[in-house]
């Protein structure tokens, strides 16, 4: 009998064992490859839980001591960072009743008014800040943002940012992009309009 077309039992067993081992190793490698995204999701959940705990703690601090202006500011910041504009507005407003005239809190409140689509209120707050401190970088930058994106007045936004550059030539947006680059881009955009 010609056995040249057959596989020996020993070779077959080795091939099956080899396939099982390769499958196992491949599965382990795939699991390791997938772990970072699972860890990322777990980290995200932990981070959200920590933020919720921080907000709850600050809310309790403002209830326990309603005259604690710093707790109100921090609560406003926490709401700001989590995109809760109306709650941030309430917290910042309360902070300003306890410490009127705080230019940084007024600026943050203006940003929240803009996020809440109350653009004119935002402009009014930025103007109050800039009347006290014409060089306040964040207020002037944010006023330009509201003029551009909220009120759609490109020329007024350009004027604000050019004034900002007189005081702070290396001013940058939160994204890191230099305001000078934003001015150049906006000037080109305005020039294209009929």
Over residues 25-37, the pLDDT tens digits come to 655 555 555 545 5
CA dist., res. 130 & res. 162, Å (int): 14
* Residue closest to 178 by CA, chosen among 146, 152, 141, 148: 141
Question: 137 with 163: CB under 8 angstroms?
Answer: no
| 1 within domain boundaries | no
| 29 within domain boundaries | no
Q: Is 16 a residue whose pLDDT tops 80?
A: no
Write out the residue range of the structural domain in which residue 190 sits: 118-194
Entry pTM: 0.75
149: domain CATH number is 1.25.40.10
Task: Point out the domain boundary residue: 70, 100, 130.
Answer: 100
Please state the domain count of the chain: 2
| 131 within domain boundaries | yes
Q: Is 17 a residue whose pLDDT tops 50?
A: yes
Residue 33 has a pLDDT of 52
| 47 within domain boundaries | yes
Q: Is 114 a residue whose pLDDT tops 60?
A: yes
Residue 38 has a pLDDT of 47
Residue 194 sits in the same domain as residue 135: yes
| 23 within domain boundaries | no
Tokens matching residue 179? 């305001």
CA dist., res. 95 & res. 89, Å (int): 10
Task: Point out the domain boundary residue: 100, 128, 148.
Answer: 100
| pLDDT more than 70, % of the chain | 76
Residue 76 sits in the same domain as residue 128: no
């Amino acid at each position: 009998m010609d056995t040249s077309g057959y596989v020996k039992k020993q070779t077959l067993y080795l091939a099956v064992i080899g396939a099982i081992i390769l499958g196992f190793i491949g599965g382990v490698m795939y699991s390791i490859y997938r772990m970072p995204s699972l860890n990322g999701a777990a980290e995200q959940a932990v981070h959200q839980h920590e933020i919720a705990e921080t907000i709850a703690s600050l809310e309790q601090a403002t209830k326990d001591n309603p005259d604690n202006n710093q707790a109100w500011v921090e609560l406003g910041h926490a709401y700001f960072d989590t995109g809760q504009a109306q709650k941030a507005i309430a917290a910042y407003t309360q902070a300003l009743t306890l410490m009127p005239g705080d230019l940084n809190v007024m600026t943050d409140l203006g940003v929240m008014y803009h996020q809440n689509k109350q653009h004119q209120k935002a402009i009014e707050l930025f103007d109050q800040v800039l009347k006290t401190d014409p060089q306040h970088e964040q207020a002037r930058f944010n006023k330009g943002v509201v003029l551009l994106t909220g009120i759609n007045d490109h020329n007024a936004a350009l004027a604000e940012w050019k004034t900002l550059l007189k005081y702070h030539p290396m001013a940058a947006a939160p994204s890191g992009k230099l305001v000078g680059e934003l001015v150049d881009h906006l000037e080109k955009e305005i020039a294209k309009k009929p």
